[in-house]
A and B are shown apart, each in its own frame.
Chain A
Amino acid sequence: MDILLVMCAGVLLGARWFPQKLYRFNANLQLLCTVILIFSMGVSLGARPQFFEELSTLGVQSLFFCLLPIAGSVALVYPLTQRFLAAKQSIGEEDGHGSSGDC
């Protein structure tokens, strides 16, 4: 919930007061934060005493319980979004292209 509030504060700043000349800085800041977060995740994992042992003993089962839920999620989300969201988006994009073409 905290994350949503922080993001909303950013949205408010971006929508009202954020200067265009800082857009690039903002994009670079996102990249830097991302790299730090992923690095931190790696640090936490590497520091776990049994990390490598767990990886070798439970690896195959973990892979099944990783890949099949991903496959299930993609298999459901793709047709749903293709039918109800992507079609709407492409219609919107076509409208946009049409109006810019008119201009």
Chain B
Amino acid sequence: MVLAAIVSLFLGIVCGRWIFSPQVVALFAQLSPYVLYLLMFAVGISVGTNKLVFQKVGEYHLKILLIPFGVITGSILGGMIASLLLSYPLGEGTAIACGMGWYSLAGVLLTDLSSAQAGSLAFLANLMREIVSFALIPPIAKHLNHFTAIAPAGATSEDTTLPMLIRHTSEEVVVLSVFNGVLCSAAVPIAIDLCWRLLPH
């Protein structure tokens, strides 16, 4: 699956850069949300056919918030440490880390708040987070635990990295993964704005 993901990404970049016309590129951009809906519908069927999933998730109660709490707090702390190591403005660096993998939104917001360069950095850092997550999910699921495999994915755990989580964890973890993705996605614009305003830059 990792190989298929990397090959697909590479072929997509090559086609987008040198082969496809702008019309075809636009067509892919228009089709993507529908493919995502189809994927989520199919994932929902998988979850629904496993009768034990919701019984188990219901047993977690408020503990279901542990993963998004850890992902958001860990991303903020990681962004702070990266800023200090690179001597980068703390507020801007932490805001970049708060993208949690949602590269399109993080890039746009940082461009708006700061500069085009900060926006590009936010775009690339969060894009890398998504790509690196593809490679990290299998070993983390194998060597740590299935729940921790959600952590690198951040806000993308409800869409792009979800298939990797489906492959390498369980239906129960997939439900938690979607829940984490929804909460982290909702937190991204708020966290970026707060870090930018409250921390020195």
Contact = CB atoms under 8 A, between A and B. Distances in A.
A49 to B, nearest CB: 10
Interface in B140-164: 140, 144-148, 150-152, 154, 158-160, 163
26 contacts: A6-B40, A10-B48, A13-B45, A20-B49, A30-B39, A30-B42, A30-B163, A33-B42, A37-B35, A37-B39, A38-B5, A40-B31, A40-B32, A42-B9, A54-B120, A54-B123, A61-B121, A62-B124, A64-B125, A68-B78, A70-B129, A74-B148, A77-B66, A81-B67, A81-B145, A89-B146
A77 B75 contact: no
A34 B35 CA distance: 8
B54 to A, nearest CB: 8
B73 A76 contact: yes
A46 B125 contact: no
A71 to B, nearest CB: 6
Contacts of B78: 67-73
B93 interface: yes
B42 A72 contact: no
Of the candidates A11, A26, A45, the one having the most CB atoms from chain B within 10 angstroms of its own CB is A11
Which range holds the interface residue count of chain A? Answer: 35 or more
B70 A36 contact: no
A27 B128 CA distance: 27
A78 B77 contact: no
B90 interface: no
A74 B16 CA distance: 33
A10 B41 contact: yes
Contact of B41 (A7, A47, A54, A89): A7
A27 B133 CA distance: 21
Chain A to chain B: the 4 pairs with minimum beta-carbon distance, closest first: A42-B12, A10-B44, A14-B48, A46-B16
Given A7-B178, A67-B132, A44 B42 contact: no
A20 B45 CA distance: 11
Given A35-B8, A42-B11, A12 B59 contact: no
Contacts of B138: none
Given A3-B158, A46-B17, A74-B151, A39 B9 contact: yes
Interface string A63-93: 1111111111111111011101110110010
A59 B158 CA distance: 26
Contact of B37 (A6, A50, A55, A81): A6
A68 B128 CA distance: 12
B49 A47 contact: no
B11 A73 contact: no
